[in-house]
């Protein structure tokens, strides 16, 4: 029941999913969302507050029923499952939350055993599984500690151990690092990346932070107003974001999104990877072409283990010099896009 012909590489498929919350003020949280998530992916779903991210992730284990459309897990339409079937399917879908959701009156060991009991794992296996999970997350010495005795990062590691204890195929992470400081966030993301690689667990990350997506995800879908505005490999969206909301997420912090800087000069965003990072592009533009540009903002980051950088520069006011600069960027193989006003189309100049 509910089985259909399905691509084995796809673990989740959303087909025209709409979720409407009825009431005095009707809210369309998801509107005709279609998306494939492949087995083994670390897939990011990003958007601003109110974009529909948490609603979407809750449809993936049917904590929320969809109003229209279908959510397929390994080819099975979740809405077609009865309570017993759904309970069995959910054992293959672990979940971790921003607030950890640990039972404060139980030790780390008993928090993990609670999940095993719900999943009907034989009691004789509990001790072995707990020890294995705590070893994976590096908390063997915290087995008998209570949540109040743990740091935020340690609590999230316990939550990850609990999610892994039922041997899931997928882990859903709903803003799982939002309550953590940057150093601890990096540690948790590294742990999730290792779990994905070593245990072959598909990981779906819901976040509003582009830094999280860039640090860990292979692919990303950008959600805005209940719609997916674009999706694909993280590198592609970083280099050439097509929607306004994606550009706001990708652009260097505090970079202006207007066509002109305060002096009325047109602005261009340059993107380069590790192979171009050592190339003195701006210096050579001045030396070889006699044209100077002003650097307004710049940053670098690692995406998929490759160093990427971006820079926002203001072109000369002289139109001829501006054209020389744009042509030069194209000649040296640097992706460049002119920053346009929100209502205008942007002029991308790929290598």
Domain residue ranges in the chain:
10-241, 251-349
pLDDT digits (tens, 9 = 90+) for 242-281: 888 888 887 765 454 555 566 777 888 888 776 555 567 8
CA–CA distance, 20 with 31 (Å, rounded to integer): 8
For residues 42 and 203, the answer to whether their CB atoms sit within 8 Å is: yes
CA–CA distance, 325 with 292 (Å, rounded to integer): 8
Q: What is the pLDDT of residue 296?
A: 81
**DSSP secondary-structure letter at 48?**
-
Question: What is the average per-residue pLDDT within 109-114?
Answer: 94
pLDDT digits (tens, 9 = 90+) for 67-94: 999 999 999 999 999 998 998 898 899 9
Topology given in CATH for the domain delimited by 10-241 = Rossmann fold (3.40.50)
For residue 197, give the H/E element and its range: helix 182-199
pLDDT > 70? residue 205: yes
Topology given in CATH for the domain delimited by 251-349 = Alpha-Beta Plaits (3.30.70)
CA–CA distance, 280 with 285 (Å, rounded to integer): 9
pLDDT bucket at 223, cuts 50 / 70 / 90: very high
CA–CA distance, 278 with 256 (Å, rounded to integer): 26
Angle between helices 182-199 and 152-164 (to 10 degrees): 20
Q: What is the pLDDT of residue 81?
A: 93
């Amino acid at each position: 029941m509910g089985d259909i012909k399905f691509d084995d590489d796809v673990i989740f498929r959303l087909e025209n999913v709409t979720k409407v919350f009825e009431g005095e003020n009707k809210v369309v949280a998801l509107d005709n969302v279609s998306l494939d998530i492949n087995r083994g992916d670390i897939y990011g779903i990003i958007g601003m507050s109110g974009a529909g991210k948490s609603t979407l992730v809750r449809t993936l284990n049917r904590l929320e029923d969809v109003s229209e459309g279908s959510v397929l897990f390994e080819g099975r339409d979740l809405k077609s499952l009865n309570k017993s079937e759904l309970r069995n399917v959910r054992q293959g879908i672990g979940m971790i939350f921003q607030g950890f959701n640990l039972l404060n009156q139980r030790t780390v060991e008993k928090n993990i055993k609670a999940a095993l009991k719900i999943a009907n794992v034989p009691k004789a296996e509990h001790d072995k599984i707990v020890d294995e999970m705590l070893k994976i997350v590096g908390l063997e010495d915290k087995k008998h500690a209570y949540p109040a005795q743990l740091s935020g990062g340690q609590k999230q590691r316990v939550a990850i151990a609990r999610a892994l204890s039922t041997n899931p195929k997928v882990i859903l992470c709903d803003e799982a690092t939002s309550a953590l400081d940057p150093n601890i966030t990096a540690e948790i993301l590294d742990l999730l990346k290792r779990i994905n690689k070593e245990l072959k667990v598909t990981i779906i990350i819901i976040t509003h932070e582009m830094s999280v997506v860039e640090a860990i995800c292979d692919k990303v879908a950008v959600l805005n107003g209940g719609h997916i505005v674009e999706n694909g490999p993280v590198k592609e969206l970083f280099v050439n974001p097509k929607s306004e909301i994606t550009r706001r997420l990708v652009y260097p912090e505090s970079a202006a999104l207007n066509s002109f800087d305060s002096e009325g000069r047109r602005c261009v965003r340059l993107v380069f990877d590790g192979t171009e990072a050592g190339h003195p592009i701006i210096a050579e533009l001045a030396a070889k072409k006699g044209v100077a540009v002003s650097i307004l903002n710049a940053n670098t980051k690692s995406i998929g283990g490759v160093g990427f950088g971006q820079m926002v520069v203001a072109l000369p006011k002289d139109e001829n010099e501006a054209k020389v600069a744009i042509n030069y960027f194209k000649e040296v193989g640097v992706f460049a896009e002119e920053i346009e006003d929100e209502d205008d189309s942007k002029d991308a100049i790929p290598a």
